[in-house]
């Protein structure tokens, strides 16, 4: 077994590998760029080596610097994590020449399966079902249009060396093929240094289901069941689960056997994933093989009890698999939510900044439910524009799918993140979505269920009652605490007022207190909006980020953030500003004029902090709805900003190469 390994990665996956290595008694070496000097993975490792500037192309993607770091520290092996150099056969070969072990498959398997074009050809030869498409290299947009017409729309344009949704575009007609081809090539070149793309048929109503395989150097190969990864946005996975609610035993067995056969065909040695597209009739087609550890591997670990990182290290050290196929049992259900630094209310555009508050739910197992949080940040960490916007991967495991989803809902409600925008409100809302809970999924789920983007949900009557109860009891406890402070000019000395009003949005909800015994905690009986009196219990204290307790029979985990004259309450994907006031004040408040936001309809605002790639128009130009105005790159993704209506460009305030802040005015319209 190795004495010391180097992790050629950053963020949560570097931290994840370090945890398993430490458990195995193996010393660890981290590498870091200028942007990651104070990162969590650097702190967790036994040693750390600086490898270059913030840009990945000058640090984490430079194999020579990784090898030099191994030589400096005496690391015997390299775990690449995912992304960066994890599927780079040349890097693997270079390590071998230096006598350093690559914790992953051999170069032969990486070359055969890591390139999407070559992997399709190889899968065809191995008699694996593949999606119809053109596997040759496409030269230009004209060639792409011709090929797409022959295959039949819709088609998927994909970067050969791609992954993580980058360099992928769906095209439904000729114009989208040409634009998608250009964008896919540009993203592929920027992200992977390889601008080759290919085209294949896009399966309508597809599910993305993948099989985890594990193989050693002694001819043993097994599969560890499947993961359902159909909840995607822009071809990037957001929520995954294991097992799939769609597969039956026969399909699971067939997919698993085919995945193992493919692994054997390329002499695969390590953990790997064979991805399939599955149609509504459970027909499955080979999509690609990822010759690395997957982002979503924790859900497989939770349902099988097998540490995949440990197995990768043992296989790389030459050990035989100690697990047979008959040993693999899928127990319970696991769900993973990817927490991204992106604003769900702005079409999920990236957000960067410092985590002023980061408090994940407690990990561990209680009452049959396990909560696990894989992360690479702590409170005070910075989310940079240079890397993937993932903050954490929150996982729950329970005996049943619904129990795992409910546990995830509670865990998301208790996950406090401040300082940046994030997608927790969307994830929390998704957990209560009827179609998701029923398991009726496809890769088009988000586009179909949120065609106009994600917007804050309006609380219904029951939810407003809970919000009002939480707000009023918290406000009364806050006032009670203030009155106990020394030096107060005029603390009240009479009985607690019984009648209050909670203003939620534009609604005024009356709350009557029937009984109270605060004693430093919340212990009230109250009636909301004329309803029956119910007990409200909580150990919340002023200043706590989480209000955990009960309102009647409803168990509540809500986040409270102070705002002017009130608080913002986040619960189950809802986010509401609530202000508590006496009835007389509420009557006056109703008379206050409503302040309207400024009119920005004649401006193109930068929707996220990013770099201007191109400006597609000029001053004085007439533009039709749908035409490209500008392209802005952020976190390795190119975002096309299009005209929402016919207009005339009156002024352009930015140029290619400019770094813009969110809401910076790119151009103005006449």
**Burial annotation 27-62 (CB, 10 A radius, 16+ → b, else e):** bbbbbbbebbeebbbbebbebbbebbebebeebbbb
Cα separation, 617 vs 176, whole angstroms: 19
How many other C-beta atoms are found inside a 10 Å radius of the C-beta of residue 494? 5
Bridge-based pairing of strands 155-163 and 628-634 is: unpaired
Nearest to 387 by CA among 642, 627, 122, 55: 55
How many other C-beta atoms are found inside a 10 Å radius of the C-beta of residue 442? 22
Residue 498 sits at the vertex; the CA angle it makes with 492 and 504, to the nearest 5 degrees, is 105
Bridge-based pairing of strands 77-79 and 4-7 is: parallel
Strand order in the sheet with 665-669: 603-605, 665-669, 647-652, 622-623
Bridge-based pairing of strands 27-33 and 364-366 is: unpaired
Cα separation, 372 vs 199, whole angstroms: 38
> Of these residues, 288, 296, 301, 421, which one is catalytic?
288
**Burial annotation 618-647 (CB, 10 A radius, 16+ → b, else e):** eeeeebeeeebbbbbbbbbbbbebebeeeb
**Residue 447, token pair as written in the block:** 């586009």
Which residues in 517-609 belong to E strands, given as ranges? 522-528, 534-538, 546-551, 554-563, 566-571, 574-581, 603-605
How many other C-beta atoms are found inside a 10 Å radius of the C-beta of residue 614? 16
First to last CA, the chain: 69
- Residue 288 bears catalytic tag: yes
Overall size of the chain counted in residues: 670
Enumerate residues 6+ apart whose C-beta is below 8 A from 479. none
Catalytic residues: 288
């Amino acid at each position: 077994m190795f004495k010391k390994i180097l992790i050629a990665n950053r963020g949560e996956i570097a931290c994840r590998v370090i945890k398993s290595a430490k458990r195995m008694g193996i010393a660890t070496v981290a590498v870091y760029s200028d942007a990651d000097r104070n990162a969590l993975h650097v702190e967790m490792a036994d040693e750390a080596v600086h490898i270059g500037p913030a840009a990945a192309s000058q640090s984490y993607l430079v194999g020579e610097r990784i090898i030099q770091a191994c030589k400096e520290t005496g690391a015997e092996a390299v775990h690449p994590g995912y992304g960066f150099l994890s599927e780079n056969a040349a890097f693997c070969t270079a390590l071998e020449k230096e006598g350093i072990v690559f914790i992953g498959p051999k170069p032969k398997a990486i070359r055969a399966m890591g390139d999407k074009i070559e992997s399709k050809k190889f899968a065809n030869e191995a008699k694996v079902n593949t999606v119809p498409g053109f596997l040759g290299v496409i030269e230009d947009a004209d060639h792409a249009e011709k090929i797409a017409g022959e295959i039949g729309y819709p088609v998927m344009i994909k970067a050969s060396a791609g992954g993580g949704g980058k360099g992928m575009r769906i095209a439904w007609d000729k114009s989208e093929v040409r634009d998608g081809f250009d964008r896919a090539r540009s993203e592929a070149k920027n992200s992977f240094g390889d601008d080759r793309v290919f085209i294949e048929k896009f399966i309508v109503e597809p599910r993305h289901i993948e099989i985890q395989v594990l193989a050693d150097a002694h001819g043993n190969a097994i599969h560890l069941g499947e993961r359902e990864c159909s909840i995607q946005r822009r071809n990037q996975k957001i929520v995954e689960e294991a097992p799939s609610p769609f597969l039956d035993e026969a399909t699971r067995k067939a997919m698993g056997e085919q995945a193992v056969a493919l692994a054997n065909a390329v002499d695969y040695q390590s953990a790997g994933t064979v991805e399939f597209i599955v149609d509504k009739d459970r027909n499955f087609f080979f999509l690609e093989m990822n010759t690395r550890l997957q982002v979503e591997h924790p859900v497989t670990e939770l349902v099988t009890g097998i540490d995949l990182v440990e197995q990768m290290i043992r296989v790389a050290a030459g050990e035989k698999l100690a697990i047979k196929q008959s040993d693999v049992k899928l127990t319970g259900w696991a769900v993973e939510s990817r927490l991204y630094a992106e604003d769900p209310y702005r079409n999920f555009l990236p957000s960067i900044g410092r985590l002023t508050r980061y408090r994940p739910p407690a990990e561990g197992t209680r009452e049959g439910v396990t909560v696990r949080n894989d992360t690479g940040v702590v409170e005070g960490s910075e989310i940079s524009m240079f890397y993937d916007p993932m903050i954490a991967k929150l996982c729950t495991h329970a005996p049943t799918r619904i129990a795992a989803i409910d546990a995830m809902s509670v865990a998301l409600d208790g996950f406090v993140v401040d300082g940046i925008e994030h997608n927790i409100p969307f994830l929390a809302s998704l957990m209560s979505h009827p179609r998701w809970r029923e398991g009726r999924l496809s890769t088009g789920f988000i586009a179909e269920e949120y065609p106009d983007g994600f917007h804050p949900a309006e609380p219904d009557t029951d939810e407003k009652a809970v919000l009002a109860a939480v707000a009023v009891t918290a406000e009364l406890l806050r006032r009670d605490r203030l009155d106990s402070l020394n030096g107060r000019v005029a603390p009240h000395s009479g009985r607690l007022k019984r009648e209050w009003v909670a203003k939620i949005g534009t609604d005024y909800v009356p709350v009557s207190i029937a009984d109270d015994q605060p004693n430093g905690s919340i212990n009230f009986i109250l009636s909301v909006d004329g309803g029956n009196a119910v007990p409200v219990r909580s150990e919340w204290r002023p200043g706590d980020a989480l209000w955990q307790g009960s309102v009647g029979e409803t168990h509540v985990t809500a986040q409270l953030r102070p705002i002017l004259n009130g608080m913002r309450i986040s619960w189950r994907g809802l986010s509401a500003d609530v202000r508590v006031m006496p009835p007389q004040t509420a009557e006056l408040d109703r008379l206050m004029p409503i302040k309207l936001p400024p009119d920005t309809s004649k401006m193109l605002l930068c929707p996220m902090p990013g770099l201007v790639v191109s400006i597609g128009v000029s001053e004085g130009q007439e533009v039709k709805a749908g035409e490209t105005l500008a392209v802005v790159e952020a976190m390795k993704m190119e975002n096309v900003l299009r005209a929402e209506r016919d207009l005339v460009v009156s002024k352009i305030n930015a140029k290619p190469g400019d770094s813009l802040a969110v809401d910076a005015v790119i151009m103005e319209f006449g």
